[in-house]
C-alpha cells in the first residue's frame, strides 16, 4: 500500500528530503506557506550561491561548532563532493573560487532550482504552495490554504521550516510556539552571521557609512582572520564581521560587552610600525604622521580617531599598539530578521539519530530550524541539505518498519 509523506517547508532541506523520498513508491507532497518555494535559496543566489566548500573534508566537518559531532553522520552521507556531483547532474556545473568556496558557474540559484523542481516533478513529487502549517490537530496537521483550513494526515511528516532570518522570504519562526506546546524543546532563535550596532559619533556616521574597510585582520578571541568589512549607519557589516559574530554575540549576551579588535596594518610588525612612527618629524600633523608613518588615511585613520579618544597625543609606542589592536566597541547584534542565518532551534536532545522527534514518532525535522550554526562559506546550505537527506532516510526506515 502507498504511504503518504508530507514535507512542510520547501527550502533546500525540505526539497533535498523530497529528492531522496521520491522513487520509493510513496506519495510525497511538499507544502510551503509562500506562493513559491526556495525563496531564501534564490536570495543566496544573489551573491553567487555558495553551495559548499572545497577545503579538506576533515576540516569542513569541524565548522559547525558544538554541533559538529552530531551533524557528522548526516554530512558524511552528503559530503561536499557528493553535493557538487548532484548539482552537476542537474546541469548546474560548479566551480571552486579562489577562496575555496564552491559556486554554480551561473553564479545564481535560479537555474539550479528550476531544474531541481522539474526533476522532482518528473519523480512524481507534488508541490503545494500557499499552504501554511499552523500546528497539530491530534496526530494530524492544521494547514491554512487558499481553500480554507485543511487537516492533513500523513504516514510520515518532515518539518523543514528554516530559521528566523529574512522572515519575508517565508522562514518566520512562527512554528516555534506550536512545537513548544507539543513539548518539543527549542532554544530561542538568535542572529548568526550578523552585523553589530556600534555607537558611532554622528560625524563619523555621516562621513563613512557605506565605506569599506579593506586589508585588515580582526580578532574576537583566539583567531585573527584577514578580510574586509563595511561601516554601516548603525555599525559594522560584512564577511569579516560575520566570521566573528557567534563569539561576539555570545560575549555580549554573557558579559554585556564585546569588542572587535582590528589590526589596521597587518603587513607590519608592532616593532616596525613603532619605528616608522618614531621617524616622523616633530611638528608633523597627526594626519601626516598616520599617513607617512603607518600608511593610514581615509576611513582607517578616522576609525582610529573614533575608537581611541586621545590617539592624537599618544607616543609612537602606544600609537602603534592602538593601530595594531584597535577595539571597536559593540552595542548589540543586528536583529535576527537582518542576519544571514540563525542559531538556536529544535534541541538535539529532542531527536534520535534519524532526525525523528523522540516524543512524536513519524515526525522528523531538518535544516536550519535545528539548533546548529556555521559560518558563511557554503556550510549552511550543505548542512541543510545533508540533514534533509538524513531525515528522508529516517522516514523511509520508519515507514518500512511500520509496514512490518
Ligand atoms: C542573504 C542570504 C544569503 C545566503 N547565502 C548563502 C550562501 O551563499 N551559502 C549558504 O550555504 N547559505 C547561504 N544562506 C543561508 C541559507 O540560504 C539557509 O541556511 C537555507 O536556505 C536554510 O534552508 P532551510 O531549508 O532549512 O530553510 P529555508 O530556506 O528558510 O526554507 C524554509 C521554507 O519553509 C517555509 N515555511 C516556513 N514556515 C512555514 C509554515 N508554517 N508552513 C509552511 N511552510 C513554511 C518557508 O516558506 C520556506 O520556503 C544565505 C542566507 C541569506 C539570508
Average pLDDT, stretch 50-55?
98
**Cα 193 from Cα 368, distance rounded (Å):** 13
Tell me how many domains the chain contains: 2
Q: Identify which of 380, 383, 385, 392 to mutate to test ligand 1's pocket (most ligand atoms within 8 A of the CB).
A: 380
Averaged confidence pLDDT in the chain: 97
Ligand 1 proximity of 11 Cβ (cutoff 6 Å): yes
Ligand 1 proximity of 388 Cβ (cutoff 6 Å): no
Same domain, 149 and 236: no
Residue of the nearest CA to atom 8 in ligand 1? Answer: 50
pLDDT number for residue 217: 98
Same domain, 131 and 30: yes
Q: What angle is formed at CA 130 by the lines to CA 128 and CA 132, rounded to 5 degrees?
A: 100
pLDDT number for residue 223: 85
Ligand 1 proximity of 102 Cβ (cutoff 6 Å): no
Task: Report if residue 18 sits inside a domain.
Answer: yes
Same domain, 42 and 132: yes
Condensed to tens digits (0 to 9), the pLDDT of residues 185-198 reads 999 999 999 999 99
Ligand 1 proximity of 60 Cβ (cutoff 6 Å): no
- Is the pLDDT assigned to residue 265 strictly greater than 80? yes
Task: Report if residue 380 sits inside a domain.
Answer: yes
Same domain, 321 and 354: no
3-class DSSP string for 12-27: HHHHHHHHHHCCCCCE
pLDDT number for residue 240: 96
- Is the pLDDT assigned to residue 140 strictly greater than 90? yes
Ligand 1 proximity of 381 Cβ (cutoff 6 Å): yes
Closest Cα partner for 126 from 41, 20, 5?
A: 5
- Is the pLDDT assigned to residue 99 strictly greater than 80? yes
Q: Over the range 313-348, which residues count as b (16 or more CB within 10 Å of their CB) and which as e?
A: ebebeebbbbbbebebebebbbebeebbbbbbbbeb
CA torsion angle 81 100 90 37 (round to 10):
110
Closest ligand 1 atom, residue 382 Cα: 11
pLDDT number for residue 261: 98
Q: Using an 8 Å Cβ cutoff, are 101 and 113 in contact?
A: no
- Is the pLDDT assigned to residue 1 strictly greater than 80? no
Residue of the nearest CA to atom 7 in ligand 1? Answer: 50
**Cα 12 from Cα 112, distance rounded (Å):** 11
300, 333, 366 - which closes a domain: 333
Same domain, 17 and 121: yes
- Is the pLDDT assigned to residue 207 strictly greater than 90? yes
pLDDT number for residue 11: 98
Task: Report if residue 92 sits inside a domain.
Answer: yes
333, 359, 390 - which closes a domain: 333
pLDDT number for residue 124: 98
Same domain, 240 and 285: yes
Q: Identify which of 40, 42, 101, 379 to mutate to test ligand 1's pocket (most ligand atoms within 8 A of the CB).
A: 40
Condensed to tens digits (0 to 9), the pLDDT of residues 10-31 reads 999 999 999 999 999 999 999 9
**Cα 106 from Cα 171, distance rounded (Å):** 26
- Whole-number Å distance, alpha carbon 41 to ligand 1 midpoint, is 6
- Structural domain including 8 reads 4-191+343-403
Burial class (CB in 10 A: 0-12, 13-18, 19+), 247: middle
Same domain, 32 and 112: yes
Average pLDDT, stretch 325-344?
98
Task: Report if residue 201 sits inside a domain.
Answer: yes
Q: Using an 8 Å Cβ cutoff, are 65 and 250 in contact?
A: no
271, 303, 333 - which closes a domain: 333
Compute the residue count for the chain. Answer: 404
Pairing of strands 156-159, 4-8: parallel
Closest Cα partner for 33 from 146, 133, 105, 155?
A: 133
Query: Dihedrals φ, ψ of 246, to 5°?
Result: -65, -45
Residue of the nearest CA to atom 6 in ligand 1? Answer: 44
- Whole-number Å distance, alpha carbon 376 to ligand 1 midpoint, is 14
Same domain, 203 and 182: no
Ligand 1 proximity of 367 Cβ (cutoff 6 Å): yes
- Whole-number Å distance, alpha carbon 375 to ligand 1 midpoint, is 15
Same domain, 376 and 240: no
pLDDT number for residue 221: 81
- Is the pLDDT assigned to residue 222 strictly greater than 80? no
Same domain, 324 and 362: no
Domain with residue 54: its CATH number is 3.50.50.60
Closest ligand 1 atom, residue 175 Cα: 41
Three-class SS state of 299: helix
Is the model's pTM score more than 0.75? Answer: yes
Residue of the nearest CA to atom 13 in ligand 1? Answer: 44
Q: Using an 8 Å Cβ cutoff, are 303 and 326 in contact?
A: yes
- Whole-number Å distance, alpha carbon 216 to ligand 1 midpoint, is 31
Task: Report if residue 48 sits inside a domain.
Answer: yes
Task: Report if residue 338 sits inside a domain.
Answer: no
- Whole-number Å distance, alpha carbon 15 to ligand 1 midpoint, is 11
- Whole-number Å distance, alpha carbon 294 to ligand 1 midpoint, is 44
Same domain, 324 and 384: no
Average pLDDT, stretch 70-89?
98
Three-class SS state of 86: helix
- Whole-number Å distance, alpha carbon 40 to ligand 1 midpoint, is 4
Ligand 1 proximity of 52 Cβ (cutoff 6 Å): no
Q: Using an 8 Å Cβ cutoff, are 16 and 389 in contact?
A: yes
Q: Using an 8 Å Cβ cutoff, are 127 and 120 in contact?
A: yes
Q: How many other β-carbons are positioned within 10 Å of the β-carbon of residue 233?
A: 10
pLDDT number for residue 360: 97
Same domain, 213 and 183: no
pLDDT band, very low/low/confident/very high, at 175 (cuts 50, 70, 90):
very high
pLDDT number for residue 13: 99
- The alpha carbon dihedral of 182, 187, 191, 192 has a sign of negative
Condensed to tens digits (0 to 9), the pLDDT of residues 280-290 reads 988 899 999 99
Ligand 1 proximity of 384 Cβ (cutoff 6 Å): yes
Condensed to tens digits (0 to 9), the pLDDT of residues 383-393 reads 999 999 999 99
**Cα 289 from Cα 279, distance rounded (Å):** 9
Amino acid at each position: 500500500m502507498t504511504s503518504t509523506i508530507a514535507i512542510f517547508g520547501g527550502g533546500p532541506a525540505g526539497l533535498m528530503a523530497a529528492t531522496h523520498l521520491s522513487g520509493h513508491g510513496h506519495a510525497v507532497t511538499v507544502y510551503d506557506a509562500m506562493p513559491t518555494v526556495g525563496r531564501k535559496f534564490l536570495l543566496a543566489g544573489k551573491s553567487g550561491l555558495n553551495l559548499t566548500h572545497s577545503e579538506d573534508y576533515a576540516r569542513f566537518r569541524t565548522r559547525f561548532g558544538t554541533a559538529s559531532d552530531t551533524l557528522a553522520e548526516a554530512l558524511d552521507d552528503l559530503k561536499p563532493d557528493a553535493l557538487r556531483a548532484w548539482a552537476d547532474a542537474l546541469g548546474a556545473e560548479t566551480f571552486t573560487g579562489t577562496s575555496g568556496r564552491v559556486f554554480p558557474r551561473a553564479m545564481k540559484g535560479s537555474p539550479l532550482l528550476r531544474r531541481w523542481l522539474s526533476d522532482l516533478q518528473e519523480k512524481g513529487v507534488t508541490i503545494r504552495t500557499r499552504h501554511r502549517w499552523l500546528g497539530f490537530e491530534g496526530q494530524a496537521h492544521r494547514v491554512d490554504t487558499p481553500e480554507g483550513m485543511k487537516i492533513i494526515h500523513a504516514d510520515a511528516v518532515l518539518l523543514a521550516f528554516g530559521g528566523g532570518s529574512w522572515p519575508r522570504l517565508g522562514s518566520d519562526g512562527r512554528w516555534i510556539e506550536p512545537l513548544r506546546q507539543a513539548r518539543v524543546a527549542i532554544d530561542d532563535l538568535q542572529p548568526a552571521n550578523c552585523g553589530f550596532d556600534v555607537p558611532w559619533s554622528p560625524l563619523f556616521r555621516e562621513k563613512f557609512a557605506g565605506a569599506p574597510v579593506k586589508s585588515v585582520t580582526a580578532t574576537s578571541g583566539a583567531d585573527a582572520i584577514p578580510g574586509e568589512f563595511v561601516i554601516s549607519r548603525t555599525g559594522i557589516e560584512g564577511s569579516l564581521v560575520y566570521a566573528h559574530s557567534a563569539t561576539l554575540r555570545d560575549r555580549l549576551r554573557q558579559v554585556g560587552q564585546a569588542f572587535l579588535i582590528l589590526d589596521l596594518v597587518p603587513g607590519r610588525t608592532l616593532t616596525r610600525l613603532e619605528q616608522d612612527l618614531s621617524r616622523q618629524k616633530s611638528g608633523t600633523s597627526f594626519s601626516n604622521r598616520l599617513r607617512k608613518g603607518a600608511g593610514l588615511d581615509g576611513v582607517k585613520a578616522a576609525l582610529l580617531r573614533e575608537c581611541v579618544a586621545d590617539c592624537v597625543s599618544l607616543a609612537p609606542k602606544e600609537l602603534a599598539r592602538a593601530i595594531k589592536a584597535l577595539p571597536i566597541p559593540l552595542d548589540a547584534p543586528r536583529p535576527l530578521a537582518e542576519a544571514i542565518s540563525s542559531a538556536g532551534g529544535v534541541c538535539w536532545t529532542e531527536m534520535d539519530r534519524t532526525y525523528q522527534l523522540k516524543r512524536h514518532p513519524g515526525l522528523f525535522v531538518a535544516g536550519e530550524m535545528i539548533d546548529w550554526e556555521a559560518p558563511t562559506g557554503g556550510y549552511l546550505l550543505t548542512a541543510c541539505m545533508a540533514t534533509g537527506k538524513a531525515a528522508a532516510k529516517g522516514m523511509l526506515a520508519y515507514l518500512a518498519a511500520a509496514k512490518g
